Amino acid sequence: MTFQTAHILPGTLDDLAGEVSADESDESIPVDAPFTGERIGDVPACAPSDVTAAVARARTAQGEWSSWSVNRRADVLLRCHDLVLDRQDELLDVMGLESGKVRQDGYEEVLDVATNARYYATRAEELLRPRRRDGAIPLATKTIEYRKPVGVVGVIAPWNYPLTLAVSDAIPALLAGNAVVLKPAEETPFSALLVAKLLREAGLPADAFRVVTGRGDEVGPALIDAVDFVSFTGSTETGRTVAERAGENLVKCSLELGGKNPMVVLDDADVAAAVEGAIRGCFTNAGQLCLSFERLYVQDGVYDEFRRTFAERTRELSMAPSLDYDVEVGSLVSERQFEKVREHVADAVDEGATVVAGGNARPDVGPYFFEPTILTDVTEEMTLAREETFGPVVSLSGFSEEEEGIALANDSDRGLNASVWTTDTDRGWRIARGIDCGTVGINDPYHATWASVDAPMGGMKDSGIGRRHGREGMRKYTESQTVAEQRVASLAPPRRVPTKWYARAMSGVMRLYKRIEEAR
């Protein structure tokens, strides 16, 4: 290999694979290093019966785990916070090795897991606390809302952020008193297995967080059939299938799906800052980021300057099969993803798109490397105009008026993330509010919205249902229970009182309640 994994001891990956319980299958799935295409290990190909057994073990463990106080559970996640930071080099090596991402992109995942662990651990008691609600009759009715864990949560995670998307969603589920069974992507199972080990070291009961490895079309359906809630991150197409199966089982689900995200640069923007934002927003993780921009719209007044500067900066980006911090662009994850990116670019060029920067595969660097690419003259009939490329490729177009920029940003059946660049704060907030995306950054690509973990994050339109982060990110893993005590009187008509009189009296009471509420 042309890179070093200084923090992974020999045999570590084999030891991690050995923690998967796969009693019903002798098959295994090879895991390759995208930097070189070489095999780095194997994990069991779990059978549906293995999934059922893992969920049964998790369900047993959940009974004990949910009996712990919220503060005791929080202590476990705070210890996990420290372990993730302490063991970050090992985590970064494993992530880079199996996903092909460069170290600076992997470090964002370390920060994210630690941030979510700290946020939910320090707020879980408040978010889960029983809450007094207005009773049916003031003073006469005492009503309290309780939050109960749903049971066992199934998390189906993708390969592009193998630490964040495997663990950050599991953290609030665990703190709410649930057990979790995680199905990581076939390409990137070791990051999930390593963090499962860290959770146990932090004090989590062993079976409260189980990992099942295997092929999605076999393990996924079995998991959905067995759990009480499904959290899925992935493509819109697969998300529809997950939602359909969850619906058949009357199991709630949260889905963060694909995007075709726009970035809008206004004519009063700081061009240098906007270019750097575009570099981060388009090419982080080689474009394999659900929040990354694939459509870039620049207002006429700064279009030429932005186009020139963005192209120059893109050509300067460093690419290498390296786990060092100073490399800016890593590999695509697999041959399948590489071919998708290559085909999208080739189709666009054949149909008349102009390559401003990049546009080429780089087999001299590694088997799945593709240059960061900027295309202009992209038209609707081109595949990449509508489909999510999920690679280091962005289309660049100009526009004249604000309303046109907003319309272009909204011209998609997806609405996950967007960004607006301007030096006029009021203008930025006004345009951001007009864009139909679940998150919109002003003078920031995605870091500010994603890292604001007290606020919900998710998609509009075909980009998903449900939210992660904030109050919604924990409460979705709970069932609300309302308990009401009628202390005096009754809402039913008293005996020996004619119903007609009761109806008149209650109508008067309702009018009184209205006046009281209006006066508040």
Domain region containing 501: 491-519
Amino acid 376: pLDDT: 98
pLDDT top residue among 21 and 70: 70
Q: What string of DSSP letters covers 185-243? A: -TT--HHHHHHHHHHHHTT--GGGEEE--S-HHHHHHHHHHH-SEEEEES-HHHHHHHH
Q: Do 236 and 278 belong together in one domain?
A: no
Region of poorest pLDDT, from 201-215, 312-326, 358-372, 488-502: 488-502
Q: Do 252 and 314 belong together in one domain?
A: no
Residue 21 has pLDDT above 80, yes or no: no
4 within a domain of the structure (yes/no): no
Instruction: Report residue 150's pLDDT band, with 50, 70 and 90 as the boundaries.
Output: very high
Q: What percent of the chain has pLDDT over 90?
A: 90
Residue 57 has pLDDT above 50, yes or no: yes
Tokens of 104: 């600076």
The CATH number covering residue 347 comes to 3.40.309.10
Q: Do 157 and 219 belong together in one domain?
A: yes
> Cα–Cα distance between 68 and 186 in angstroms, integer?
33
Q: Do 374 and 318 belong together in one domain?
A: yes
Q: In what order do the strands lie in the sheet with 261-265?
A: 354-357, 373-376, 393-399, 293-299, 261-265, 417-421, 439-442
Active site residue 256: yes
Section 492-499 average pLDDT:
87
459 within a domain of the structure (yes/no): no
221 within a domain of the structure (yes/no): yes
The CATH number covering residue 200 comes to 3.40.605.10
Amino acid 3: pLDDT: 55
Section 107-135 average pLDDT:
97
> Cα–Cα distance between 399 and 327 in angstroms, integer?
34
Which residue, among 81, 182, 112, 148, has the nearest Cα to 457 in the 3D structure? 112
Q: Do 77 and 137 belong together in one domain?
A: yes
Section 184-188 average pLDDT:
97
Indicate the pairing of strand 417-421 with strand 414-415. Answer: unpaired
Amino acid 6: pLDDT: 65
Q: Do 343 and 403 belong together in one domain?
A: yes
Q: Do 225 and 320 belong together in one domain?
A: no
Section 102-124 average pLDDT:
98
Residue 486 has pLDDT above 80, yes or no: yes
Q: Do 239 and 337 belong together in one domain?
A: no
Which residue, among 410, 384, 422, has the nearest Cα to 298 in the 3D structure? 422
> Cα–Cα distance between 101 and 88 in angstroms, integer?
15
Tokens of 399: 């526009």
DSSP state, residue 347: H
Q: Do 282 and 408 belong together in one domain?
A: yes
156 within a domain of the structure (yes/no): yes
Indicate the helix (H) or strand (E) that contains 50. helix 48-67
Indicate the helix (H) or strand (E) that contains 294. strand 293-299
SS3 123: helix
pLDDT top residue among 519 and 375: 375
End-to-end CA distance of the chain: 70
Amino acid 11: pLDDT: 84
Indicate the number of domains in the chain. 3
Catalytic residue among 187, 290, 371, 388: 290
Q: Do 87 and 234 belong together in one domain?
A: yes
Q: Do 197 and 221 belong together in one domain?
A: yes
Residue 353 has pLDDT above 90, yes or no: yes
Catalytic residue among 108, 109, 256, 328: 256
> 190-201 and 88-99 helices cross at what angle (nearest 10)?
160
153 within a domain of the structure (yes/no): yes
Tokens of 299: 């207002």
Residue 2 has pLDDT above 80, yes or no: no
Amino acid 343: pLDDT: 98
Active site residue 290: yes
Distance set, CA 384 to CA 229, 256, 346, 349, 405 (Å): 34, 21, 10, 11, 19
Residue 1 has pLDDT above 70, yes or no: no
pTM over 0.75: yes
Write out pLDDT tens, residues 217-246: 999 999 999 999 999 999 999 999 999 999
Tokens of 329: 């662009």
Instruction: Report residue 313's pLDDT band, with 50, 70 and 90 as the boundaries.
Output: very high
195 within a domain of the structure (yes/no): yes
Distance set, CA 328 to CA 23, 33, 151 (Å): 42, 18, 42
Section 386-401 average pLDDT:
98
Q: Do 266 and 251 belong together in one domain?
A: no
462 within a domain of the structure (yes/no): no
Write out pLDDT tens, residues 400-413: 999 999 999 999 99
210 within a domain of the structure (yes/no): yes
